Amino acid sequence: MTHTQKMSTVCLALTSAALFSFCSKQALTQINGQQNMLTSNKTTTTAQILSSTWETVTDGSSLTNYTSFESEWNYLYPWGSDHNGTARMYGSSTDHSQIYLNGDGSLTLKATYHPDSTLNSFDPKIPIHYHSGTIYSKHQVLIDSIFPYWEISVDLQAPTALGTWPAFWITAVNSWPPESDIVEVKGSTSIWQNTYDGNWQTKLTTVNNAATTWHHYKAVYNRLKNTNGSWSNSVECQYFIDGAITSVQVGNNFANAPFWLIIDLQMEAASGSPGPQTDTYFKVKNVVMRKGKTPFDPNASYKLVNVNSGQVLAVPSASTTQGVTLIQWPWLGGTEQQWQIGDQGSGYYALTNRNSGQLVDVKNASTTQGTAVIQWPSTGGNNQMWQISRVGNGIYNFKNRNSGLALDMANASKAQGDTAIQWPYQSGANQQWQIISQQ
C-alpha cells in the first residue's frame, strides 16, 4: 500500500516481444535514462522462470478453516494495529469481528464505521474513523540467488467506493522502501499496481466490477542479472490481472531483502473521504505463494560462510591431496576457499573445490554422526551429494544425501582451522551457511 496520498504519474510505453505500460513517478527524461541503464546493464531471464523448479510456500487452502489459517497467517500488521489510513485493525484467534472465514475457502475483511477518540499512531496522526482487519503471512518472501523467482497470486472482490482502500502487497521487513503493490484500490475502479524503491513506478487498470466479481491478480518477481552474468540487486516485477500481463516494472535493491505479504482494508486518506458509514467488505481466496530456483551457474564460484564463526569452508594449505579434511578459515579470496555448485538432479548438488577440483565428501560414505567431511575426487556417490535448504534471511543448510546429516563445524567452534563434520541437524548456527557468489 502506497505511503503517499497523492501521486502524479507519467507513462512510458516499452516495446519488446509485447507492449507493456511502464509508469513512473519520475519525469519522462528520468524514465528514459533508467530504461537505457537497464537495457545496457541488466538482462532479464523470463525464460528461466518458466524452466525453473517451483516450490509451493502457500497452496491456496490456508483460508479453509481457522486451524489452517492461523498456521499460515498472523493478525494485524507486523508493526501493530495502525497504518496510514483512518482504520484501526482488530483481530485475534478469539476476535473475528473484522476478520472471518466464510466456510467456502474465502476470507472477509470488514471495515465498520466507528469513530474513535484517539488518533492514528502513524504520522500525520489522523483521526480513527473505522475498525477494520488486516493479516500478514508467516512466510516471508526472499528473492535471492537460491530462489531468484517468486510468484504470488490471489482472487479478490475488492471494494471500490470512495474512501475504501483495500490492498494485497509486499513490503520489506527491515526498512522501507522497497515495496510492491500487487493490488491496491483507492476509492475507484482503477487497480493500482506499483513498485517503490525510492521512486514510484505505477500502472492503473480499470476493472469495472472489481467489487462484485472475483478477479485473479498475480505478480511474478524475477531477479535480474548483469551483462557479465552476475546477480544484480534489481528485480523485475511482472503484474497480471485475470491472466493478462498489465505491467513490467523494475525494483532496485529488492534482492536479498525479506518481505512481508500483507492483505489489508484501510480506509480514507489516499482513497478519499468521506468514506462509507455502512459496513465495507473485502473478500479474499486462493492465496498462492511459490518460489522458483534454477541450477546454480556451473561457471560461478561461491564462498560458503559459516553463520556461527563468520569463516568460510576451505581446503587447508590449498592442498590438492585427496582425503584432506575440510576446515573453516577467514576469507582470503583463494581458490581453495571457493566452490562450484553443480546440479545432480532430484534437488541435490555437488560442491567442487576450485583449487583441487575435488568434491565435498563424507569420509568412507559413513552415516555416523561426527564423521569428517573431506575432499575427494568425484565418484558419483551419494556421500558427495548435498541437499541445500533455505533456513531464512539468506541462510542455508547442507544435508548429505547418503547420511541425511548436516554439514557442521565441530563443537560449534569459532577457531580458525577447526574441522568440518557431519551431524544431525539441530538448527545451530554452526550448521548454517551463507552462499555468496564471487562473480
| Residues that are catalytic | 179, 184
d(CA 195, CA 127): 28
Residue of 214, 168, 227 whose CA lies nearest to 192? 168
Which of 57-74 are b and which e, b meaning 16 or more Cβ less than 10 Å from the residue's Cβ?
bbebebbbeeeebeebbe
If you ran DSSP here, which 8-state letter would residue 363 be given? Answer: G
Contact present, 89 and 132 (Cβ < 8 Å): yes
d(CA 275, CA 131): 13
The dihedrals phi and psi of 36, each to the nearest 5 degrees, come to -65, -40
d(CA 105, CA 364): 52
Residue of 405, 406, 384, 385 whose CA lies nearest to 396? 406
The dihedrals phi and psi of 72, each to the nearest 5 degrees, come to -110, -25
Largest CA distance in the chain: 78
Residue 335 CB: number of other CB atoms within 10 A? 14
Burial level of 247, CB count in 10 A (0-12/13-18/19+)? Answer: buried
The secondary structure element, H or E, covering residue 192 is strand 190-196
Write out the three cell numbers for 42.
541488466
Distances in Å between the alpha carbon of 147 and those of 58, 144, 283? Answer: 15, 5, 30
